Amino acid sequence: MTKKIKLLENLPEALNVGWTSFKFVVKANLLKGPQKCYGITDFNLNTITIEKTLSNEVAQATIIHEVCHAFMETFGLGGDHESEEDKLSTSNEYLTEAACRCFLMFKNLNPELWKLLFEEYYE
């Protein structure tokens, strides 16, 4: 059973990824181009914007998704895959190790957000 905390009302000010911080922004009617979306990580503005109207369940998944974008960039797994040079070619082991390190960095650099998403949410 999940605790009924409001994730979007309890987000910290920013996500620390070691080399920079991404400010959290929560707003309604989030668009990526002409399309509605749940979250956007902007590497030019160093922001993570989350749709304000999301349920806790969708907000949790969206925040984790956007956090992964920010941390994966740290390991050279960025790019939008719109050009051939952005396409990733690697092994399962490399991706697994990168993901593991991303989660450990996330937990160690952002204990408050980690606790909100992975501990308090399930109390």
Pick the CATH number of 7-122 from 3.40.50, 3.30.2010, 3.30.70, 2.20.28: 3.30.2010
- Given this model, what pLDDT does residue 82 score? 61
Domain boundaries, the chain: 7-122
In the chain, which ranges are E strands? 14-16, 21-27, 31-32, 35-36, 39-42, 47-51
Q: What is the pLDDT of residues 41-67, one digit of tens each?
A: 999 999 999 999 999 999 999 999 999
Q: What is the pLDDT of residues 77-95, one digit of tens each?
A: 776 656 666 666 778 888 8
